[in-house]
Amino acid sequence: MDAAEFRRRGKEMVDYMANYLANIEQRPVYPDVKPGYLRSLIPTEAPLEPENYEDVIKDVERVIMPGVTHWHSPYFYAYFPTASSYPAMLADMLCGAIGGMGFTWASNPVITELEIVMLDWLGKMLKLPEHFIAGTHGQGGGVIQVGSTASEATLMSVLAARCKAIQQVQASNPGQSEAEILPKLVAYTSEQAHSSVERASLIGGVLMKKVPTDDNYAVGGGMFKKMLEEDKAAGLIPFYLCATLGTTPSCGFDHITELGPICNKENMWMHIDAAYAGSAFICPEFRPLLNGVEFADSFNFNPHKWLLTNFDCSTMWVKKRDDIIGVFKHSDQPFYLKHEHQDYNHSSLLQNWQIPHGRRFRSLKLWFVFRMYGIQGLQAHIRKQVALAKEFESLVRADKRFEICAEVIMGLVCFRLKGSNQLTELLLKRITESREIHLVPCHLSGRFVLRFAICARTTDSRHIQQAWRHITQLTFEILQEPNH
């Protein structure tokens, strides 16, 4: 394919993309395929000779689309949103053409430079404390974590905390080896935290304990303090807490104004994971939920969830860059990575903030999105989706057969049919089979609960109303059945 053909095919692709998104409501949101469906639709080996582009593109509808879960359909209410916007798509196209890799500053100066400044822009939008802003002389700053969800941000914070804790113990007990210290270290997180937090501890080889939550599925200071005291009395060394703002099951908010001072006093690293909810903190009315971030050593959220920046873009800030860079401080930087601006200390080694060596030019997406929407446009998107969740909540509350299972603060509504879990399980089964809308369940205090998350950018009141009609129709049918 030469440049001329790319011009033609690229423009056709732009139309295909626009058509796909414009007509997405006509596709069943959840695919009707069985595991292994695709293998039989295509050859078992790559072709020896080139094929025609027409044949490839025809196969997009024949092979690919039948297996797609349409996350951008306004009938998609599962998990949490993954963002999509035209400006972000345009930026990503440009990123594809520039196509270089960023690791050292010299490998692609603009990748380092724009990322640092965009994270400052975003940090200011969130009104993060000054120490998280890189500026020209700051000790902290932000980075786009390679990888896709908050998993890598959590892992990096665990590793940085582990490194720091070992150094601290060794400073006061010079004789102790890392191997002696490691089994005593203990990290904490909410029992409601995302599974990636537990993974981070598995990778880092440290014990992680789960803190029980209160009636709002949030961790408070009292229970946390009690666990710390017990563990310290047992000879363990508490060194890390991952607090969550907007948990995956119910969008609960840990009480970081209580947890932060405890962590600071105990010299523990506090990381805050606000993967989903973080985007909402650009709105003054939601910013109070972030109060307490001033006690944190690191903070992250995913603009690719709720800030109109296409997947993937997970952002992380640290109070002291040196803590996180310390994890990978090599005695010898490989020679092929040295360059004339080697001494440029200003976060120039973004590759030392993360596990992979290289990075895409992801900050281009943020730059396009921030400028094309403006802060007000982004706030409007958040507010609209929260209002839709409130609208859905009202519909549920008005129906005596249902109950709301957790406070609705952002774009997630947790609800269930009153009565046995089996009843709500059956309802979900019918919803999934019908493929008109798509949502997933969670467990809250032993109850089987449906999660209704406002996801697609184009979701509107009429979709919410239609979804509710569909749910109540299926409920009506279920309750008519002899067993119920």
398 binds a copy of itself (CB under 8 A): no
Q: What is the C-alpha separation between 420 and 444, in angstroms, rounded?
A: 14
Q: Name which position in 152, 258, 273, 393 contacts a copy of itself (CB under 8 A).
A: 152
Nearer to a copy of itself, 11 or 226 (CB): 11
Hey, which residues between 250 and 309 contact a copy of itself (CB under 8 A)?
none
User: 444 - beta bridge partners?
Assistant: 447
96 binds a copy of itself (CB under 8 A): yes
Least Å distance, CB 477 to a copy of itself, is 20
Least Å distance, CB 452 to a copy of itself, is 12
212 binds a copy of itself (CB under 8 A): no
Q: What is the C-alpha separation between 79 and 452, in angstroms, rounded?
A: 8
Hey, which residues between 13 and 52 contact a copy of itself (CB under 8 A)?
13-18, 20-22, 31, 33-39, 42, 44-51
Hey, which residues between 317 and 336 contact a copy of itself (CB under 8 A)?
327-328, 330, 333-336
* C-alpha angle 240-327-124 in degrees, rounded to nearest 5: 70
Q: Which stretch binds a copy of itself (CB under 8 A): 71-79, 229-237, 283-291, 465-473?
A: 71-79
54 binds a copy of itself (CB under 8 A): no
Least Å distance, CB 123 to a copy of itself, is 10
Hey, which residues between 423 and 482 contact a copy of itself (CB under 8 A)?
432, 440-443, 451
Own/partner pairs for 345-350, CB < 8 Å, 24+ apart? 346/116, 346/134, 346/136, 347/112, 347/116, 347/134, 347/141, 347/143, 347/321, 348/104, 348/105, 348/112, 349/104, 349/105, 349/325, 350/102, 350/103, 350/111, 350/112, 350/115, 350/143
368 binds a copy of itself (CB under 8 A): yes
Nearer to a copy of itself, 106 or 223 (CB): 106
Q: Name which position in 310, 385, 424, 475 contacts a copy of itself (CB under 8 A).
A: 310
Q: Which residue has the tokens 């490989």?
A: 334
Can you spell out the DSSP letters for 228-239?
Answer: HHHHHHTT-EEE
Q: Which stretch binds a copy of itself (CB under 8 A): 353-361, 401-409, 464-472, 475-483?
A: 353-361
Cα dist. 309→180, 303, 380 in Å?
44, 6, 15
DSSP code, position 51: P
